[in-house]
Amino acid sequence: MNQVEIAEHLDISERQLRDVLSRLKLDHKVNSLEEIRLAYIRDLREKAAGRTPTTHRQKLDEAKTREAIASAQMKELELFKEHKLVLDRTQVRDAMDQWTIIAKSEYENSVDKIIALIEDQYEVSIDRESINGIVESTCRVIGDFQFQS
């Protein structure tokens, strides 16, 4: 049977028949009219039942998947916030500011202790003016740190 006769039998155009045969991986020269008709009917049933993926259907499924993922991520974030496993920017900025104050103080105290140990061990007196310039410069760098959000 030729394509014209098969197309007439299935009540579709020759072009549609070529598309159907290609999609179903059938050949009108190899497969019988009966095989083509059954495959075509099954394909129509699948489409009617919504089981055959179409571009529109795939896009809709992808959108639903993205929406479900986003919703799950938002719920997870809320859960993390509820259990204080995640901090907001203000909390982080405040913590960084506190750390900066502590770091400067600890640095200054450490330098003072090191100088005192050297003076005691070697029985010398160290001029702190030159060292204070370095300490102040370092503390200024630490204090000028800006948290980027």
Q: What is the pLDDT of residues 2-21, one digit of tens each?
A: 999 999 999 999 999 999 99
Give the DSSP letter string of 44-62: HHHHHHT-S--HHHHHHHH
Q: Which of the four pLDDT bands, split at 50, 70 and 90, describes residue 125?
A: very high
pLDDT at 135: 92
Q: Phi and psi dihedrals of 33, rounded to 5?
A: -60, -40
Q: Looking at the predicted structure, is the pLDDT value of residue 149 above 70?
A: no
Burial class (CB in 10 A: 0-12, 13-18, 19+), 124: exposed
Q: pTM for the complete prediction?
A: 0.45
Q: Which of the four pLDDT bands, split at 50, 70 and 90, describes residue 122?
A: very high
| Residue 19, SS3 per DSSP | helix
pLDDT at 142: 86
**Per-domain boundaries in the chain:** 3-49, 54-86, 89-143
Segment 29-43 shows an average pLDDT of: 94
Q: Looking at the predicted structure, is the pLDDT value of residue 118 above 90?
A: yes
Tell me how far apart the alpha carbons of residues 91 and 40 are, in angstroms, rounded to a whole number. Answer: 64
pLDDT at 53: 66
Closest CA to 40 of 84, 78, 9: 9
Segment 38-56 shows an average pLDDT of: 83
Q: Identify which has the larger pLDDT, 39 or 84.
A: 39
pLDDT at 25: 95
pLDDT, one tens digit per residue, over 52-108 is 667 777 888 899 999 999 999 999 999 998 998 988 888 888 988 899 999 999 999
Burial class (CB in 10 A: 0-12, 13-18, 19+), 110: exposed
